[in-house]
Structure 1
Amino acid sequence: MTGGDVPVRVALRTTDMEEARAFCRKVYYEPLRIDPVGDPDRFDFSADVVELGPITVGEVAYGTDIRVAIGALETAYHVLVPLTGVLRSRHRGMVVLADPTRAAVYRPTGDIELDWPGTCRMLSVKVERGALERELDAALDQRLVSPMPLGASFDLVDGPGRTWVALVRLLLAELRAPEGLATQPRMAARWRDMVVSGLALTVEHPYGEEPAGLQGPYRPRTVKRALDVMHAEPWRPYTTRELAAVAGVGVRVLQDAFRQHVGMSPMTYLRRLRLDNVHAELSRADPGLTSVSDIAYRWGFTHLGRFAGAYRERFGVPPSATLRDQP
């Protein structure tokens, strides 16, 4: 890593798997495996990454479905934000389905497995362990445990998550520009600090509702609890009453909270989450080995007629067209 105020940009576009693996190990983590599970002829790796002191920010895509296995990060916390597509992530016994509405968060301990579809272009943010822990330690009036027991994901639709990811994307765009303001060392250092402090404000942790002095528009814990169980197992036949019980409130309270903080009812959100996962799986499935009904049932849709109508309304085509059009 170079000096903390001097951004260093590294980029690669290649169809060579070994070259892509070497790049990712050098820029991110050494104990890393990348294996294609889709058509290897469609492998088209692209990465545009900027290192700025304790943070490494970039956009990464593979062009075909891959599986990534990473050993314990040890020295960093990491956030993955799909800009397109849906990422299936397993870390410390938790399954997270990340998409443009929800980020996945990784602690320094515990192996990571990622099912990364070729349709998924990722915003990747690595933050050195000490930098994030110092930031939270400065904001909290109590001793922290290291590594911090952060939540496995956070919301990007509204609140601090939306602001943080917009900040990261703007920083990356500015650092790519040859004469952007963020390429100036003093401005780069300030922006770098904003990314770290913004992440400390955004991630969930057990040290109180919010860091002292960093109050922000957090979603209520009732909403977070319901979102967490839906993202962990979206195929389960939840009812609004069951989600309200998980959240610890009445049905009407949960519905009102979702409309205020998510912009839709719990069941509408769950249906959209399931549809997005069906779409992602249909987009990479072999029509000779599976069917629309198999995938729909797997993601919790039991009435195929209503499912097909909802799918067409969301994606503009019937589900059979998505499956049929795959190479």
Structure 2
Amino acid sequence: MVGGDPPRPGPTGSDSPVHVALRTTDVDEARAFCRELFYGPLHMNPVGDRSGFAFSGDVVTLGPITVGEISYGADVHLSIADLEVAYHVLAPLAGALRSRHRGATVIADQTRAAVYRPVGDIDLEWPGDCRLLSVKVDRAALERELDAALDQQIVTPLLLGASFDLVEGPGRTWAALVRLLHSELCSTGGLAGQPRMAARWRDMVISGLALTVEHPYGEEEPAGLQGPRRPRTVKRTLDAMHAEPWRPFTAGELAGIAGVGVRVLQEAFRQHVGMPPLAYLRRLRLDGVHAELSRSDPWQVNVSDVAYRWGFTHLGRFAGAYRQRFGVPPSQTLRERR
């Protein structure tokens, strides 16, 4: 281990980067490292001869994004069930791997990245000569980015393509941005280590990914895949809620932001968003709490503190709404993610 025990990532939205590195020939230690920094239910096992196993991982966390340069030194098989809380991209820097996700098989190499949605099992055949960038983006962050950028309703989880080009177009630029960010945050003294610059870089990675991956919201896509266009009143209200989800908005305040009456705004939301404004705000807050609990240390984070931070003032009603949306109490999410 480089630098002792891995520090825990900061809360979603944190502008302070965290760098953790590990070099080991111990399979269990490597598996625990990947579970700690990426996903708890990840399964990794060497295939065949283990004598060449030499894990190398350099991982940086910056709020809602986690970027790691990972290699194993020996052939391994990885599997993981639903990611639930994140979208993920694997972009090889050397070698290639075979990826299966949601019925699609992708050969990811230096010309093509593999993309994973929050729902659907992932199965990877990872050769020993494959070294790659593993990029995790919190689900709520990417969905907020697309939702804010478009004037139409999006389906969640996002209907992303299974891969994208790394040689030409936006994918080349995005991959270069991620490589530079990772390199800067793994060293010391650079501009990327400054919180204000790190925050801007973080936002560029998220917005760049939203513009790079294939999704059914572009003008070139069949009209049947596009959501209904949203009026400006709805768009203004959504922008305000996404900017300050913790703010104690009332129906009247939201209507004032939209410039219409309460009933008019409620009807517009039912038609173009599928629920009333305050119901959407509650879901936005619940998703934010879920994302933060899913990546937090249960010894350092208190459920009630997180709930208050996201605008919930009545913990009993919050717990009931959380269980209804995610099927488990918030305390269980906090326990199980580690």
Q: TM-score range by the shorter chain?
A: 0.5 to 0.7
TM-score by length of 1: 0.63
Q: 1:23 aligns with which of 15, 24, 33?
A: 33
TM-score by length of 2: 0.61
In structure 2, give the amino acid aligned to 1:73: L
Q: 2:186 aligns with which of 141, 152, 176?
A: 176
Partner of 2:10: 2
Task: State the 1:210 CA deviation.
Answer: 6.7
Matched, 1:123 2:101: no
Q: Distance in 2 between matches of 1:25 and 1:209?
A: 39
SS of the residue corresponding to residue 199 of structure 1 reads: helix
Contact 1:201-1:210 within 8 A present in 2 as well: no
Q: Distance in 2 between matches of 1:167 and 1:210?
A: 26
Per-residue CA distance 1:179-216 (angstroms, 9 max, x = gap): 111000000000000000000000000112479xxxxx
Q: Distance in 2 between matches of 1:185 and 1:35?
A: 37
Q: Distance in 2 between matches of 1:107 and 1:80?
A: 12
Partner of 2:77: 67
Contact 1:12-1:46 within 8 A present in 2 as well: yes
Q: Distance in 2 between matches of 1:31 and 1:93?
A: 21
Matched, 1:208 2:212: no
In structure 1, give the amino acid aligned to 2:202: R
Task: State the 1:38 CA deviation.
Answer: 3.6
Q: Distance in 1 between matches of 2:187 and 2:44?
A: 30
Q: Distance in 1 between matches of 2:179 and 2:209?
A: 13
Q: 2:173 aligns with which of 133, 158, 163?
A: 163
Q: Distance in 2 between matches of 1:23 and 1:198?
A: 28
Contact 1:55-1:127 within 8 A present in 2 as well: yes
Q: How does 1:76-95 map to 2 (within 5 A)?
A: 76-95=86-105
Task: State the 1:39 CA deviation.
Answer: 1.8
Partner of 2:110: 100
Q: Comparing 33-42 with 4-13, which one deviates more in the overlay?
A: 33-42
Q: Distance in 1 between matches of 2:117 and 2:185?
A: 26
Provide the identity percentage.
71
Q: 2:195 aligns with which of 171, 185, 189?
A: 185
Per-residue CA distance 1:24-44 (angstroms, 9 max, x = gap): 111000111111114201000
Q: Distance in 1 between matches of 2:189 and 2:216?
A: 41
SS of the residue corresponding to residue 69 of structure 2 reads: strand
Per-residue CA distance 1:272-305 (angstroms, 9 max, x = gap): xxxxxxxxxxxxxxxxxxxxxxxxxxxxxxxxxx
Q: Distance in 2 between matches of 1:36 and 1:176?
A: 27
Q: 1:46 aligns with which of 31, 47, 56?
A: 56
Task: State the 1:58 CA deviation.
Answer: 1.1
SS of the residue corresponding to residue 40 of structure 1 reads: coil
Q: CA RMSD in A?
A: 1.1
Q: 1:136 aligns with which of 133, 146, 149?
A: 146
Q: 2:122 aligns with which of 104, 107, 112?
A: 112
Q: Distance in 2 between matches of 1:12 and 1:72?
A: 26
Q: Distance in 1 between matches of 2:220 and 2:37?
A: 32
In structure 2, give the amino acid aligned to 1:2: G
Q: Distance in 1 between matches of 2:73 and 2:220?
A: 39
Q: Distance in 2 between matches of 1:32 and 1:157?
A: 30
Q: Which runs of 5+ in 2 are unaligned?
A: 1-8, 222-338
Q: Distance in 2 between matches of 1:90 and 1:46?
A: 23
SS of the residue corresponding to residue 57 of structure 2 reads: strand
SS of the residue corresponding to residue 41 of structure 1 reads: coil
Partner of 2:307: none
Q: Distance in 2 between matches of 1:89 and 1:2?
A: 30
Per-residue CA distance 1:212-250 (angstroms, 9 max, x = gap): xxxxxxxxxxxxxxxxxxxxxxxxxxxxxxxxxxxxxxx
In structure 2, give the amino acid aligned to 1:189: A
Q: Provide the aligned length of Structure 1 versus Structure 2.
A: 211
In structure 2, give the amino acid aligned to 1:87: L
Q: Which runs of 5+ in 1 are unaligned?
A: 212-327
